[in-house]
A and B are shown apart, each in its own frame.
Chain A
Amino acid sequence: MIKHLVTLVVLTAGTSLYAQQTITGQIVDETHTPIIGASVFYAHQSIGVATDMQGKFTLTFIEKAPLTISYIGYKTQTLTPQEGQSYHLILQPEESLDEVIIKTKQRNTTRSIKGTTNSFTMNSGELLKAACCNISEAFETNPSIDVNYTDAITGTKQIKMLGLTSPYILIAEENIPSVRGASQIYGLTFTPGTWVESIQVTKGAGTVINGYESISGQLNTELIKPATDRPFYLNLYGSNDERFEANIHGNYRLNDKWSSSLFIHGNVRTGDHDKNHDGFLDMPKGEQINVMNRWQYINPEKGVVSFITARYMKDNKVAGQVDFDKKKDKGSTVLWGSEINTEKIDLSTKIGYVFPDLPFQSAGLQVAYNYHKQDSYFGLNLYDIKQNSLYSNLVFNSIISNTLHKFTTGLSFTLDQYTEQVFVPGIDGNFNRTDNALGAFYEYTYDNTTDFSVVAGMRVDYHNRMGLFATPRLHLRYNPWENGVLRASVGRGKRLANVFAENQIFFATNRYFQLEGNNGKIYDLDPEIAWNYGLSFTQNFHFIGRKGDVTLDFYRTDFENQIVVDADYNAHQLLFYNLDGKSYANSFQLEVNYNLARNLNLRSAYKYYDIATDQKTGTFEKAYQPKHRFFANLEFTTNEKDNGAHWKFDFTYNWLGKQRITTTEQYAEVNQLKSSSNPYSLMNFQITKVFSPRFEFYVGGENMGNYKQRNPIVSASNPFDTDFDTSMVYAPITGSMYYAGLRFKLD
């Protein structure tokens, strides 16, 4: 709904004509025509009147009480009246709605005070702040999600929520679970940032509509919609570490119902970079080609919206020792090298229907087919995985008696067919399997439209491996006072761990792999089950005339069962077993956002994580996870000129406390590491010069302080030795990186 903005001009303050204890006045518009029925009231005392046929009003005088004058279509403002005064006020018409929204209302990250779940939406503006490149890099300006370095070989960044990595986060694309199974580790790098319209982030137990797997949170990416897409978009990017990217989008509107968009993405990384002189490439070389074609159909009269999307992606990476030649050295022990080649095909369709004459009732069907194939080797270790999956979800939304009580219900069916081949020390085998699940869900929402709402969801699934089980989720929201919101949530999640796909970082080690199952459902192991509890309080405030908000979050995840990935039992081994004892993750976050000055926004957060798991040899704090983190982001935009030209400045600071390093006791003395890392900080910046709505240019830098982990690869000089390990990474491997790029768009 339109929010009316506020300004008013006090022209003349006439002399006292009336008795004391009152104030009077006349309200007119810009043509000096009296405004009839404008509201004149004391905002805090609930006293007020409407202006009469001459636009006049008389009110009791209240000392130092601000008086508000408002009328639809006109700017509102507040003044502190003088006793016995008469006012002649000219109201100014509201500016055109679009302009007001763009200049003052739109924020890159929006958190609703109304929503029941602890969610916020990052729009494309927020994604542009990281300039690049795919969604694994999109969260670097966001305090709720931590970006972590996974290993010293693939250069992959992994995200964490509440201290837990992506297998415990449900990552969906347009509400279809996308980063899962075979794509668990690299999946986020397969969606170019320029394709994204917005990302919705939900902390804690999410909705049951998208499945039972989410535990610590949900991320949903909405891609650009053909019906609202611009005709042409070009983005070029290059960095000093020789990464080059190009994105080209084209859109075509066939008629008022059908439109189509074509998205083409390509990136290459060339050149050998070994700044730390350990003989290994600091990041892999390779290329990715990614093409997507979307069709959208809209028929407002019939209430039908539909999407058809087809996508192809091919990604090749080569990593390892600088002189490694894949044709000559693959499979030999002369030089260590690695290749990860992935191919993906996605086909999906969505259809939504709103019942005519019942705008509160709708139905939707989503069907997606996904093919994912990864062939890879890491030195002498081999890992191939192929996944064919089918996802379908039928959703029906309606109300119970009235719109205060809403419900969503539906059925889902998923089928996953895996062909998996693992050849590592200790394991040589095929782990082929087919999983399927049929589920039904029901979610009830009550909202009293003022200060209280509840979302209660339940789903029941029958899974060929896990049997019949229930997933309950509950969210509550209460506004104890104005601009304050208290949220609570509790929920259960259950999933089968794809232990190899999720722990690919250990393939680039010479560890001895051991599956210590108990004849469980998958790899002899049991499903993972966890409960997540959350409490969050947000207060919006005004301080010295500027807006801000403060949020306190506390979340706890308790594992009933977890697949413990134990790298601490012995530095030469990697064990997988069912949790015996306790495993929990506590996360606390204090976030403060404040508008420091006109066009200057500060976002800051302190995060505390307490994550521990009972392992075979004791209780271990989570490795490569700082207990304390501090985050700050400053954003400054200059005023827009008439032609739309302006500057944007963005600066992000991250401080990471000490991190535990997994045991190195069994290594040769020269290879041993300290048991924890030193704290360090990272600084990123970006400057964008917008020349016009059509053209902009940006430059930026990452890790400006040039902090590097000194020896990210254990036994780098002897990669076929048992000590060789590339998984012990807690800091950037490459030093500072600078980039530049441009965006060109036609509207």
Chain B
Amino acid sequence: MKKLFLTLGLVLLTTAAVSAQEKEQPKQVIGVKGLCEMCKKRIEKAALDVKGVRSVDWSIADQQLTVYLNPKKTTGKEIQEAIAKAGHDTDAVKATDEAYNDLHGCCKYQR
């Protein structure tokens, strides 16, 4: 009985997770901090390296990244984590100090 509940619970949880994923929009605009053309390259590369990301464009002026993604394969959160790992703060994820310190001098945006 216990096992049955556990299984059921698991199934429910998975379904919930799946439906949560389905809410993921194919086009997302994420705030990403950076300064220059060099940052643009790094931010876009980091995002593109995430499986499921189709197309990206980071605007220096708007400090925003426009992403087209495959909602079945990735989430905006995952992309933000990848960008933060590359040293750039995003709306939801802050880069670690190490990652930030590794940035080229020209890319040391105001935190």
Contact = CB atoms under 8 A, between A and B. Distances in A.
Interface of A: 1, 36-37, 39-43, 46-52, 68, 70, 72-73, 357-360, 399, 401-404, 449-450
B26 to A, nearest CB: 7
B104 A46 contact: yes
Interface string B70-81: 100000000000
B105 A41 contact: yes
Given A358-B68, A399-B54, A37 B110 contact: yes
A161 to B, nearest CB: 35
B55 interface: yes
21 contacts: A1-B37, A37-B109, A39-B35, A39-B106, A41-B104, A41-B108, A49-B105, A50-B35, A50-B108, A357-B68, A358-B54, A358-B68, A359-B55, A401-B51, A401-B54, A402-B48, A402-B55, A403-B48, A403-B55, A404-B48, A449-B41
Interface string B95-111: 00000000011111110
Contacts of B35: 37, 39, 50, 70, 72
B106 A41 contact: yes
B36 interface: yes
A693 B41 CA distance: 38
A49 B53 CA distance: 32
A177 to B, nearest CB: 31
A277 B51 CA distance: 76
A70 B41 contact: no
B43 to A, nearest CB: 11
B54 A403 contact: yes
Nearest to B56: A403
A700 to B, nearest CB: 41
Contacts of B53: 402
A732 to B, nearest CB: 49
B61 interface: yes
A177 B48 CA distance: 36
Contacts of A70: 35-36, 106
B105 A402 contact: no
B24 interface: no
B85 interface: no
Given A48-B105, A357-B27, A402-B53, 11 more contacts: A37-B109, A39-B36, A41-B108, A47-B105, A48-B104, A50-B108, A73-B61, A358-B68, A360-B54, A401-B70, A449-B44
B41 A72 contact: no
B109 A50 contact: yes
Interface of B: 26-27, 35-37, 40-41, 44-45, 48, 51-56, 60-61, 68, 70, 104-110
B68 A360 contact: yes
Contact of B41 (A40, A41, A68, A450): A450
A498 B61 CA distance: 56
A359 B68 contact: yes
Contacts of B61: 72-73
Given A36-B110, A403-B48, A450-B41, A42 B54 contact: no
The 8 A-B pairs with the shortest beta carbon distances in the complex, nearest first, are A48-B105, A41-B105, A37-B110, A50-B108, A403-B55, A360-B55, A39-B106, A41-B106
Contact residues of B: prevailing secondary structure: mixed
Contacts of B110: 36-37, 50-52
Contacts of A40: 105
B106 A68 contact: yes
Contacts of B106: 39, 41, 43, 48, 68, 70
Contacts of B60: 72
Contacts of A47: 105
Nearest to B105: A48
Contacts of B40: 1
Nearest to A398: B54
Contacts of B51: 401
A48 B108 contact: yes
Contacts of B55: 359-360, 399, 402-403
A449 B46 CA distance: 12
Contacts of B41: 449-450
Contacts of A72: 35-36, 60-61
A401 B73 CA distance: 10
A449 B27 contact: no
A402 B74 CA distance: 12
Contacts of A450: 41, 45
B52 to A, nearest CB: 8
B109 to A, nearest CB: 6
A55 B52 CA distance: 40
A70 to B, nearest CB: 7
Contacts of B68: 357-360
B26 A357 contact: yes
A359 B54 CA distance: 10
Contact of B54 (A1, A36, A46, A402): A402
Contact of B108 (A39, A42, A399): A39
Nearest to A357: B27
A8 to B, nearest CB: 15
B105 A42 contact: yes
B49 to A, nearest CB: 9
B50 to A, nearest CB: 9
Nearest to B27: A357
Contacts of B48: 402-404, 449
Output the residue of A41, A43, A402, A449 with the most chain B CB within 10 A. Answer: A402
A49 B54 contact: no
B29 to A, nearest CB: 13
B9 to A, nearest CB: 34
A49 B61 CA distance: 20
A550 to B, nearest CB: 25
Contacts of B27: 357
A41 B108 CA distance: 9
Output the residue of B37, B68, B109 with the most chain A CB within 10 A. Answer: B68
Nearest to A68: B106
Contact of B105 (A1, A39, A51, A403): A39
A186 B55 CA distance: 45
A360 B41 CA distance: 18
Nearest to A359: B55
A42 to B, nearest CB: 7
A537 B59 CA distance: 32
A62 to B, nearest CB: 12
A51 B52 CA distance: 37
Nearest to A73: B61
A70 B106 CA distance: 8
B63 to A, nearest CB: 10
A404 B107 CA distance: 24
A575 B23 CA distance: 73
B82 to A, nearest CB: 13
Nearest to B54: A402
Contacts of B54: 358, 360, 399, 401-403
